[in-house]
């Protein structure tokens, strides 16, 4: 029998409980971090899948490249470069697109103008 009347076993159980309670916030933070990491991976996968779908539609011919360029151009500010086509710069302006000061409604029209001036 122990000299302290069994008090040491009670104290060791108390230390274990205190240790577990002290770990609870850290475990909660780790679990929350894991959930946030999971959501970020799902979001990245969604963007990757949408990009691959768009590329496969372009490769199969079901989605013209002009549609993609026009869609991406809508997000750009006025005066910014849309693309370089055969050495000429197609930029966004207030009415649509511009090449050498001439205005066009679509990128396709601007490219046709460049092709006609070669």
Q: Residue 7: is its pLDDT beyond 60?
A: no
Portion of the chain with pLDDT greater than 90, in percent = 21
Give residue-wise pLDDT tens across range 41-68.
999 999 899 888 888 887 887 877 666 6
Model confidence at 1, pLDDT cuts 50, 70, 90, reads: very low
Q: Which of 27-31, 36-40, 44-48, 73-77 has the lowest mean pLDDT?
A: 73-77
With a threshold of 0.75, does the pTM exceed it? no
Predicted confidence at residue 117, as pLDDT, reads: 72
- Give me the DSSP letters along the chain: --TTTTHHHHHHHHHHHHHHHHHHHHHHHHHHHHHHHHHHHHHHHHHHHHHHHHHHHHHHTSS-HHHHHHHHHTTSPTT-EEEEETTEEEEEETTEEEETTEEESSHHHHHHHHHHT-
Question: Span 73-87, mean pLDDT?
Answer: 66
């Amino acid at each position: 029998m122990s000299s302290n009347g069994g008090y040491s076993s009670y104290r060791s159980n108390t230390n274990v409980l205190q240790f577990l309670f002290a770990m609870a916030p850290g475990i909660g933070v780790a679990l929350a971090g894991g959930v946030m990491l999971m959501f970020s991976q799902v979001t990245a996968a969604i963007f990757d899948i949408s990009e691959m779908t768009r590329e496969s539609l372009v490769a199969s011919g079901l989605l013209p490249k002009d549609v993609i360029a026009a869609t991406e151009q809508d997000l750009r500010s006025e005066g910014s470069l849309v693309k370089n086509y055969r050495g000429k710069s197609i930029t966004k302006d207030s009415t649509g697109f511009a090449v050498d000061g001439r205005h066009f409604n679509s990128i396709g029209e601007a490219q046709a103008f460049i092709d006609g001036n070669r």
